[in-house]
A and B are shown apart, each in its own frame.
Chain A
Amino acid sequence: MSSNDPRDRALEAMLGKRGRSRPAAADCLDAETLAAYTEGGLSDSQRAEAEGHMAGCARCQMVMAAIVKSAGDVERAPVSVPGRSWWPLDLRWLMPLAGAAAAALLWMVVPAAGPERQSARLEDRASPDRSKRLQSPATVAGSAEPSPLVVAPAPSMSEVPRAVEEKAAKPESASPLAARERGQLERQLAEQAERKNLAVRRAEADQLAKKEERAAPVAGVTPATPPTLQESIVVAEANRPPAAAPAPAPSPQAFGTTAETRRSSPAAGAQTDLRSLDPAVRWRLAEPGIVERSRNEGATWERLDTGVRTLLRAGHCPSASTCWVVGDAGVVLLTTDAQKWRQVTPPSPGDLVAVDAADAEAAVVRAANGRSFRTTDGGTRWTSVP
């Protein structure tokens, strides 16, 4: 669109100039009108009216441009936010892993490439009857029917995921065994992808925890900046295993200091570290109602009975003796001496999933429904916050 003519270029430079801004006019288009304009939801007269305003309003032009430019990013950009499962975000893992798993499965299913086998396979292609005698491990164990994977030519690595997807998308063949094998294959792929994903997340969390541990002494008395409540929830959500498929139980150290919340019942014996602002003291959740504290880098742990048996989900400990813990059914617990726990008046009867505390007086808790509540008087009164 740009012209090389000097006069045109001069005009373009002027057209592209943005001057000092003026306040929004009282008759500026409201957000809904702008949104409806973007979606083509205005009548002709409303549209003309909106354009008449926008043509002379730099603010509305800018807003409209921001709406339009963000549209593509909103559709594309991945983001971890409360309430969003991580599964849709990690489909990128599925493709290479699916390919690798399918290749491994094919390697197991397809007979070893010896001279006899190769000749047999060549004969198989020429003689479909003989192929029925070659059976996959699955068919050996079960039915006498051959797997269609045995006679199919092995696809390349890049083709495997697509082939698997195509097979899954096709209508069920006449052989129930083939369908069962496909189902098994898909389950294996999903499980492998999930295990890989979880392992990578744990490794990342471990690295982060180690980094923070190393950084804390170097920085002197100031520990690394603790994650905000929002970040904590994001991490907790990201670490939440999918409901649809089983996942290995998380190890205590797996999530490091970032795994201060848990959304589902941990396996027996599993502990979840709580966020502690005092790097010399570690806190963790043990079985329901029990919090443990260590003052020697985790060599030994004091067992602190909170007196409740509700599932505790998260905690934040702003000092060596002060700790806030939240859990199901609106449980909010506070200790200021690492001995006695006080059950604070709950801000919400629902499950609480995260807490961020500054000291024994000020804390923000977050409910499972996304609402947050703040107290500045040790939990006597709560106010809603975003």
Chain B
Amino acid sequence: MSCVDPSLAARLHQRANAARWHLSVAEFAAALERSAAKIGAVDGSSLERALDGLHLDDLALACACERGDDAAWEHFVREHRPLLYRAGTAIAGEYGRELADSLYAELFGLRERDGARQSLFRYFHGRSSLGTWLRSVLAQRHIDAIRSHQRFDPLPDEEDPSPLVADTAGPDAEARRQAALVHDALGGALVRLPARDRLRLAWYYREGMTLAQIGRLCQEHEATVSRHLTRTRKALRADVEAQLQRAGLGAGEIDECLAAAAVDPGDADLSSLLPVEDVRKNTVDIRSKVEERS
């Protein structure tokens, strides 16, 4: 049963100017239903509001391209393909052209299932503009390629011929132990931060985003982002120091631990330590770990 009222579908069809891509009201209504299901809007008023907020013209174009309409493809090639290439280059540099070509092939739909072309356009529901969606898909592909490549990188050769001895004695072992203490303390402090604070830290320190870029994402002024970051960093440091003090370390030892951590911050990135859901439930018991290691 259709959840999109025919009159609403007709109005949105007209607003999207979908007729220029030879898209019937019924076809567009089907696309709207898929979008509604994706958004999770079901009842009348919220559904209408949600559908009204979609990028309807882009949705119509994507539907028509998925259907293989020539006029729609010509429009896409003329208007969006240049953006696709620019985005590819901006995201992946020299490899961007290949990345964009690969995505273009999937948009066109080279694979068939049950005799029908499977175009990537079917994953576009109009919740964002088509251009940003394309950029987002490119970014996902690029990041996945990088991460996949990193996973297959060989681990560094062990230069020390007697690692077992080195692990249990000597200045290196002590430095690693100190760095591990700080690492655990920092992980514990991070899970206690609100999600947005952690995001700001990650984007600023690890991803190298500017305050303005973070501000655009968080819908905050960059001065506000700066204040938040300063506050979060202070809170983080206080938490780490408190954990290390509770573990029985003095001021000098804390300095040594932090210095060791600065030289060897550890292998895993901190966000990977954090579970996506229920991050607050998994607080690291730093005290027990310190006792265990010492």
Contacts and interface: CB of A to CB of B under 8 A. Distances in A.
A52 B110 CA distance: 36
A37 B125 CA distance: 14
A369 B65 CA distance: 12
A41 B151 CA distance: 33
B180 to A, nearest CB: 11
Q: Which of A14, A20, A69 has the most CB of B within 10 A?
A: A14
Nearest to B55: A41
A11 B271 contact: no
B23 interface: no
A40 B101 contact: no
Contacts of A152: none
Given A55-B279, A56-B271, A38 B136 contact: yes
Nearest to B226: A1
Contacts of B262: 6, 9-10, 13-14
A25 B97 CA distance: 27
B132 A67 contact: yes
Contacts of A74: 83, 86-87, 90, 131, 135
A81 interface: yes
Interface in B197-232: 198-199, 201-209, 211, 213, 216-217, 219, 226, 229-230
Interface stretch (A58-66, A91-99, A205-213, A265-273): A58-66
A18 B78 contact: no
B154 to A, nearest CB: 11
Given A35-B135, A39-B129, A52-B195, A18 B206 contact: yes
Contacts of B279: 55-56
A386 B77 CA distance: 12
A77 interface: yes
Nearest to A27: B276
A184 interface: no
Nearest to A33: B127
B151 A71 contact: no
A12 interface: yes
Interface in A1-41: 1, 3, 6-25, 27, 30-41
Contact of A82 (B81, B241, B269): B81
A105 interface: no
Given A56-B271, A56-B274, A83-B77, A11 B90 contact: no
A227 interface: no
A57 B143 CA distance: 13
Contacts of A61: 199, 202-203, 206-207, 271
A34 to B, nearest CB: 5
A10 B101 contact: no
A55 B259 contact: no
B70 interface: yes
Interface residues of A, number: 72
A39 B237 CA distance: 33
A105 B95 CA distance: 47
Contact of B128 (A14, A39, A56): A39
Contacts of A14: 182-183, 186, 261-262, 265-266, 270
Interface in B82-119: 82-83, 85-87, 89-91, 97, 101-102, 104-105, 108, 110
30 contacts: A10-B261, A11-B236, A14-B186, A14-B262, A14-B266, A14-B270, A15-B270, A19-B272, A32-B38, A35-B129, A39-B129, A51-B195, A56-B195, A56-B276, A56-B277, A58-B202, A62-B146, A63-B140, A70-B87, A70-B90, A70-B139, A81-B81, A350-B70, A369-B73, A370-B73, A371-B108, A385-B110, A386-B102, A386-B104, A386-B110
- Those 9 A-B pairs whose CB atoms lie nearest each other, nearest first: A386-B105, A73-B90, A35-B128, A65-B207, A370-B77, A21-B147, A55-B195, A10-B262, A70-B90
Interface of A: 1, 3, 6-25, 27, 30-41, 48, 51-59, 61-71, 73-74, 77, 79, 81-84, 230, 350, 369-371, 384-386
Interface of B: 38, 53, 70, 73-74, 76-78, 81-83, 85-87, 89-91, 97, 101-102, 104-105, 108, 110, 123-125, 127-129, 131-133, 135-140, 142-144, 146-148, 150-151, 153, 182-183, 186, 195-196, 198-199, 201-209, 211, 213, 216-217, 219, 226, 229-230, 233, 236-237, 240-241, 254-255, 258-259, 261-262, 265-272, 274-277, 279
